[in-house]
């Protein structure tokens, strides 16, 4: 078996495993997901170094999720019909970065992707791999679904871009690397992948912005009609790929 085929098989296996638990995670809702991630932040806060700042980044995005995406909004409708607008995850995201990627930036990307209801493949530079292992280890301790987040070798990133069934791609990198990643994503067949790009690894104006997590969601409407024949309620649920 060639190296390329082996890499593709490995990436596709991990992607399939992520997606197998994605619907369960997405269906938990914002508040339930946030409880897991708050515990994750508590776990990280007990570590030394930048992990405490990473925990603060998680808590920041959880607070924003409570304000921006947790509420379900009632929409106008005819008598006997209830229409609700709510948010959900898009599916499988890749979270990555170049040598400028920091632990805090990585944690911010992960927190936003997870609280909004996505599953994630993570690819980090070698210098950050030890910290990434620690991040994911503390996440698993909270009882999140197995394989919700999987670490892939950064050398297989191109394979993931070309072959994995991605719904989104988040990266912290310098401008030239982001342009190259965008080019590769645009060359994919099928639906365009949502690209969430941060080019200021020092200040993180995007990752640390109050509305960052809105880039990881899709909007859905749910209609409940209680006027059906015999009084039985009917349910119609529609999803949109636009955020």
3-state secondary structure string across 43-104 = HHHCCCCCHHHHHHHHHHHHHHHHHHCCCCEEECCCCCEEEEEEEEECCEEEEEECCCCCHH
The order of strands in the sheet holding 149-151 is: 149-151, 119-123, 92-97, 168-172, 194-198
**Average pLDDT rounded to a whole number, residues 37-41:** 98
User: pLDDT higher for 180 or 231?
Assistant: 180
At 209 the three-state DSSP class reads coil
Computed on alpha carbons and rounded to an integer, the radius of gyration of the chain in Å comes to 19
**Average pLDDT rounded to a whole number, residues 164-188:** 97
The distance between the two most distant Cα atoms of the chain, rounded to a whole number of Å, is 64
Residues 145-170 pLDDT 10s:
989 999 999 999 999 999 999 999 99
Indicate whether 214 pLDDT > 50: yes
- Domains of the chain are 3-71+90-214 (3.40.605.10)
Q: CA–CA separation, 26 vs 74, rounded Å?
A: 20
Indicate whether 224 pLDDT > 90: no
pLDDT of residue 232: 52
pLDDT of residue 185: 97
pLDDT of residue 73: 86
pTM (2 decimals)?
A: 0.91
Residues 66-123 pLDDT 10s:
999 999 888 787 766 778 889 999 999 999 999 999 999 999 999 999 999 999 999 9
Q: Is 169 exposed, middle or buried (0-12, 13-18, 19+ CB in 10 A)?
A: buried
Residues 43-54 pLDDT 10s:
999 999 999 999
pLDDT of residue 216: 98
Half-sphere exposure of 4 (CA within 13 A, CB side): 3
Indicate whether 137 pLDDT > 50: yes
Share of the chain above pLDDT 70, in %: 91
Contact 65, 213 (CB under 8 A): yes
pLDDT of residue 1: 66
């Amino acid at each position: 078996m060639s190296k390329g085929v082996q890499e593709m098989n490995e990436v596709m296996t991990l992607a399939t495993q992520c997606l197998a638990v994605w619907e369960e995670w997405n269906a938990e809702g914002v508040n339930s997901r946030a409880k897991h991630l708050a515990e994750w932040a508590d776990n990280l806060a007990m570590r030394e170094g930048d992990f405490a700042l990473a925990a603060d980044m998680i808590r920041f995005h959880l607070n924003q999720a409570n304000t921006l995406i947790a509420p379900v909004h009632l929409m106008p409708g005819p008598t006997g019909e209830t229409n609700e607008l709510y948010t959900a995850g898009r599916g499988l995201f890749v979270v990555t970065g170049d040598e400028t990627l920091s632990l805090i930036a990585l944690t911010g990307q992960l927190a936003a992707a997870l609280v909004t209801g996505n599953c994630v493949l993570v690819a980090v530079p070698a210098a950050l791999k030890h910290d990434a292992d620690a991040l994911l280890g503390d996440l698993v301790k909270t009882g999140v679904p197995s394989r919700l987040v999987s670490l892939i070798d950064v050398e297989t990133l191109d394979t993931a871009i070309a072959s994995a069934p991605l719904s989104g791609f988040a990266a912290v990198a310098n401008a030239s690397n982001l342009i190259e990643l965008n080019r590769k994503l645009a060359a994919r067949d099928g639906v365009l992948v949502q690209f969430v790009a941060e080019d200021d690894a020092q200040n993180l104006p995007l990752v640390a912005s109050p509305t960052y997590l809105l880039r990881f969601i899709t909007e859905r409407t749910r209609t409940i009609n209680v006027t059906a024949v015999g009084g039985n309620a009917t349910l119609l649920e529609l999803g949109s790929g636009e955020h």
